[in-house]
Chains A and B, each alone.
Chain A
């Protein structure tokens, strides 16, 4: 069974641009969560989606948005990029949203904003 796939693996963007990251969950998984990891703040929760609905959102500005499609694939978008958005963005999928469902993480997308 294929694992969680994140594309692209690496991305370099310029301040002010926007970026879209993709996450394909494990087949059969309907829950996708996104996280940002920076050296200063560590891992922080961005969003959680289940069956195309955003269930939870972390404490991030409106420039960060996401969505989930009917095939459970998810995308996140960051508009008007800032230098501080440089980070490793990770997604994780699970069968459902309950705490009994183990999380499976992707390898992340490393975004560099110059």
Chain B
């Protein structure tokens, strides 16, 4: 069983739709990252959260430590949101953050 499971693997949406991407994990963690990767390959860190909820523009990330589940929401989706979204967890509980395990990613395509 993978330690980090993302769903869905692929997602196609119409511009303006509300989008939810889920991440479930089986290990104890101190924080969780949501990353965005565009076709060119570069990765942008969207959120790092250890509890509750964070919001940045149209993006909202939530985490429930007890249920070992996190969600990334995109409100009023736009074609420029098309990318691969990846959740990542530090492997060492309470330890360094560079040592990450990654979900397989959710490929999002937003159609105009």
Contacts and interface: CB of A to CB of B under 8 A. Distances in A.
Contacts of B52: none
What bracket does the count of chain B residues touching chain A fall in?
Answer: 20 to 34
Most chain B CB within 10 A, of A32, A35, A50, is at A35
Interface in A39-90: 42-45, 48, 50, 55-56, 58, 88, 90
B48 A92 contact: no
Contacts, number: 79
Given A88-B41, A108-B41, A108-B42, A97 B97 contact: yes
Contacts of B97: 94, 97-99, 101, 103
Interface in B67-112: 86, 88, 90-92, 94-105
A11 to B, nearest CB: 13
A42 B94 CA distance: 24
A84 to B, nearest CB: 18
Interface string A89-109: 010101001111111111110
Contact of A98 (B86, B88, B96, B105): B96
A106 B45 CA distance: 11
Nearest to A58: B99
A99 B48 contact: yes
28 contacts: A31-B98, A33-B98, A33-B99, A33-B100, A42-B103, A42-B105, A43-B86, A45-B100, A50-B96, A55-B96, A55-B98, A55-B99, A56-B95, A56-B96, A90-B41, A90-B43, A97-B96, A98-B97, A99-B50, A99-B94, A99-B95, A101-B97, A105-B42, A105-B43, A105-B44, A106-B42, A107-B40, A110-B41
